[in-house]
Structure 1
Amino acid sequence: MATLFTRIIDGEIPGRFVWSDDRCVAFLTIAPITDGHVLVVPHEEVEQLTDADDDLLAHLVVVAKRIGAAQQRAFGAPRAALLVAGFEVPHLHLHVLPAWDESSLTFANARTDEPAERLDAAAERLRAHLPQVQPPLPG
């Protein structure tokens, strides 16, 4: 059975995509910790971080780095944070989010009632900054 993320990737469930290539996609989470919180998800249904092959994992991190740089520009954050937990969906995903301090980087701060308009605005803001940090991926 396809995971929730595969269903989003395949267009069965709507997603606010900010990145797509032949190996992964990135879309805004519906429960952001900070504005612009994105999930980088491989097309391949890998259950967790330790199951991913090294090439795929390296690709996901490079994409996360680019998205993080765009988040810093778009939201004025001093840092981009990368979190990997994966308990909520059994499909590897990297959480990339603009960060101001370590104390805010907890899933307890996730906003589950975020209005669609606010999520749409964050996605558009991030998309506008991605071309400035998006050189071609290697290989």
Structure 2
Amino acid sequence: MSTIFSRIISGEIPCHKIAENEQFLAFLDVMPLVEGHVLVVPKQEIDYIFDLSPDQLGGIMQFAQTVAPAIRKAIPCKRIGVAVIGLEVPHAHVHLVPMNTANDLNFTQAKLQVSQESLAKTAELIRSFL
């Protein structure tokens, strides 16, 4: 059965795309910790981040490295936090989270409720800095 991320990658489920190449896709989290929370996923459906090949693991971080500066320019923050949790969706993914305090990367806190219109504007703003 395809994961929700595979369904997003295939276009079956829409997303607010930030960047894409042949191997990876970056898109806004629809239930973000903070504004500008981006998910980076491999297009190949692999459950666990450390089951990625060495090239894929390095590649996902290199791809994230191209997206993070655009997030930082679009969303006022001190840093872009990086997290790999992997418990909610059985598809390897990296969270890129704008941070001003360590609590901004606290996955136990309540998620933001953000309108599709607001997500679209945030995605457009981030893309403008790529």
- Structure 1 or 2: more helix by fraction: 1
The percentage of counterpart residues that share the same residue type is: 36
Query: 1: distance between equivalents of 2:26 and 2:15?
Result: 9
Unaligned runs of 5+ in 2: none
TM-score, length of structure 1 as denominator length: 0.88
**Deviation digits for residues 65-86 of structure 1 (CA, Å, limit 9, x no counterpart):** 1211111111121211111001
Secondary structure in structure 2 of the residue aligned to 1:117: helix
Match of 1:3, as an amino acid? T
Rate the CA distance shift 1:110–1:30 in 2: closer, same or farther, 3 A: farther
- Distance in 2 separating the partners of 1:56 and 1:66: 15
Which residue number corresponds to residue 135 of structure 1? Answer: none
Normalising by structure 2, what TM-score?
A: 0.94
CA separation of 1:32/1:111 partners in 2, compared to 1, >3 Å: closer, same or farther? same
Gaps spanning 5+ residues in structure 1: where? 131-139
Per-residue CA distance 1:2-60 (angstroms, 9 max, x = gap): 11101000000011111110111011011111111110000111101121111101111
1:47–1:90: 8 Å Cα contact kept in structure 2? yes
The answer (yes or no) to whether the contact 1:46–1:92 under 8 Å persists in 2 is yes
Alignment length, in residue pairs?
130
Give the CA deviation at 1:111: 2.3
RMSD: 1.2
Does the CA-based 8 Å contact 2:97-2:104 persist in structure 1? no
Alignment of 1:1-139 (within 5 A): 1-130=1-130
